[in-house]
Structure 1
């Protein structure tokens, strides 16, 4: 019999290998995201490896105080991998503007790591006796802190600008899976469920990260055509207007200054538009020089913002020394209008605006 061989840990390592290979070959992921995913994967691989070692010691070594100490040390190393894995994912999602939840998350992760290290020398979370593991009361706090850190991480994911209903659904399953694992660990000492739950959560987290980047325009940082199509396909009557925007000078920039300068011009324009409409709705880059804003604001409010930008004539200086020149059209949703019909109205208004500018 090979009781010491834990196939659940082998499944966990297989999941880690699968995710790491996908991440390494995903051209859309930023370097920092890839690095975070890989480091988290390494932490989980160490967790699964030491968990297998725990069973080898349990089945192969005689019961003694020394065996209990070794089992406790191995378990502490296993648990120490959880805050390490969380910290790297937390770094991926932490927004540039720190909020209280970020400090709470970091403090929680540090506390988890410190408690695991202390437990090596003094059992405050769990202990081993006759080769069996037993939780101490403080361990419940550890489980709660772990889930709090995980929830903060999910909150950062859901608050990402390109997060939509699909990503929210996926993030919910990540949280539920993690919760079931922690619950099984605390109530039934079912660590296999916890470790597999971590592996499944790791896979789902990668899928969520990948989806976010797949819906993000690499150049402008705005939600891209993919995100736009999915938003339009599932959009309900929770908007009032749609604005179509088309840059006027991009071809000239590309022809006279080169495509590199054209890309900088797109970046400056998109960032300036995003800043101006930050409180007005969700802005997408849907083509080379085309943008779409889905808004709850009135036509008059959105028109005032557009005219103010055009009157100023310059992109925000922090994005480069570029003029701003675009045509725009606003479609207003009337009772019974479909999203495609409002888009058509906005598109027609935008092209009419462009023709007027060309005649001037």
Structure 2
């Protein structure tokens, strides 16, 4: 008889192993992101292992107050793994950009962790009697707080990075999956569904991050050519102007000072431009020294912005001590223009500007 074996927990552990192996071999992800995913996976694996111990206790321990205490303690530790599962990944992922919203999510997670420990000795959310689990009225509060913290941190993560419609769609499915798990737990006492929803959400989050980092340039942290290709394939008429930018002097940096300095020059210029265009559109790195901005703003507004950047003469000092020097072309979409037509016009204007700037040197 193997009725005490919980195969749903084994499936959860299998998901953790699968994601962990992929993460360790995914060179596109930053090191700190890989650490966050692995740490989350370890916490999830502990959760599934503890849940299996709970079922062993149900099947093999006699019905008594002592058994109720043991089962309650195990359940509290299982629930404790939920905030532990959420915290390492989200702490590391948004370590560089803390917000009030982010800190609120982490505070809710810390509150849940403390409450789970207290619940071992005093029923705050649930208790066990005659080997059965019962929620107290505050049990619903636990689910609301936990899901609220999860949504807050998920939203903060989305806002802190470049997420296109596919990434947001996948992140939405993560939130929906978690919500179904919490509903099953509260309404039907169906903890199996809750724990599996955590595992499925873990897998979906990994897929979302993989898709995201495949579309982010490793040097500038701007959306890359893959992201640009996806954007223009769905752009339709949701833009007004396209700006093409080509850096001057990159070859000189690479040949005289090395590619590492060249990369620093690219980074400094890219981040300076990204700051200048903030709120005006999306800036992509589409080649070694080529960038493209897709914007809803008009040509005069963007031209004034670019002129103000060039007038400063240098990159923002927080990004590096480099002269800012680039050629550019700005083209507005006219009625009937395909996106390729507008890009072509911007490209032609950019090379004309580059030719003029070379003659003036």
1:157/1:163 contact within 8 Å kept: no
| Structure 2 match to 1:121 | 121
Q: Distance in 1 between matches of 2:28 and 2:129?
A: 49
Q: Distance in 2 between matches of 1:211 and 1:78?
A: 31
TM-score (norm: length of structure 1): 0.97
Q: Distance in 2 between matches of 1:143 and 1:319?
A: 43
2:94/2:160 contact within 8 Å kept: no
Q: After the TM superposition, which of the residue ranges 273-282 and 191-200 deviates more from structure 2?
A: 273-282
| Structure 1 match to 2:137 | 137
Residues 1-360 of structure 1: pairs in structure 2 closer than 5 A: 1-94=1-94, 96-360=96-360
Q: Distance in 2 between matches of 1:11 and 1:95?
A: 31
Q: Distance in 1 between matches of 2:97 and 2:49?
A: 37
1:162/1:227 contact within 8 Å kept: no
Q: After the TM superposition, which of the residue ranges 85-94 and 197-206 deviates more from structure 2?
A: 85-94
1:16/1:199 contact within 8 Å kept: yes
Task: Classify the secondary structure of the residue corresponding to 2:318.
Answer: helix
1:94: Cα distance to partner?
A: 2.7
1:331/1:345 contact within 8 Å kept: yes
Q: Distance in 2 between matches of 1:161 and 1:78?
A: 31
Q: After the TM superposition, which of the residue ranges 315-324 and 214-223 deviates more from structure 2?
A: 315-324
1:6/1:52 contact within 8 Å kept: yes
Task: Classify the secondary structure of the residue corresponding to 2:322.
Answer: coil
For residues 58-106 of structure 1, give each alpha carbon's deviation from its aligned partner in whole angstroms, at most 9, with x where no partner exists: 0011111111111111100000000011111221343644333122211
For residues 161-185 of structure 1, give each alpha carbon's deviation from its aligned partner in whole angstroms, at most 9, with x where no partner exists: 3200000110110011000000000
Task: Classify the secondary structure of the residue corresponding to 2:293.
Answer: strand
TM-score (norm: length of structure 2): 0.97
Q: After the TM superposition, which of the residue ranges 35-44 and 300-309 deviates more from structure 2?
A: 300-309
Task: Classify the secondary structure of the residue corresponding to 1:319.
Answer: coil
Unaligned runs of 5+ in 1: none
1:236: Cα distance to partner?
A: 2.8
In structure 2, relative to structure 1, the CA distance for the partners of 1:33 and 1:161 (3 Å cut) is closer
Q: Distance in 1 between matches of 2:260 and 2:39?
A: 34
Q: Distance in 2 between matches of 1:256 and 1:94?
A: 37
Q: Distance in 2 between matches of 1:94 and 1:312?
A: 31
1:50/1:78 contact within 8 Å kept: yes
**How many aligned residue pairs are there?**
360
Task: Classify the secondary structure of the residue corresponding to 1:288.
Answer: coil
Q: After the TM superposition, which of the residue ranges 166-175 and 123-132 deviates more from structure 2?
A: 123-132
Q: After the TM superposition, which of the residue ranges 55-64 and 301-310 deviates more from structure 2?
A: 301-310
Q: Distance in 2 between matches of 1:138 and 1:5?
A: 30
Q: After the TM superposition, which of the residue ranges 85-94 and 176-185 deviates more from structure 2?
A: 85-94
Runs of 4+ in structure 1 off by over 6 angstroms are none
2:29/2:213 contact within 8 Å kept: yes
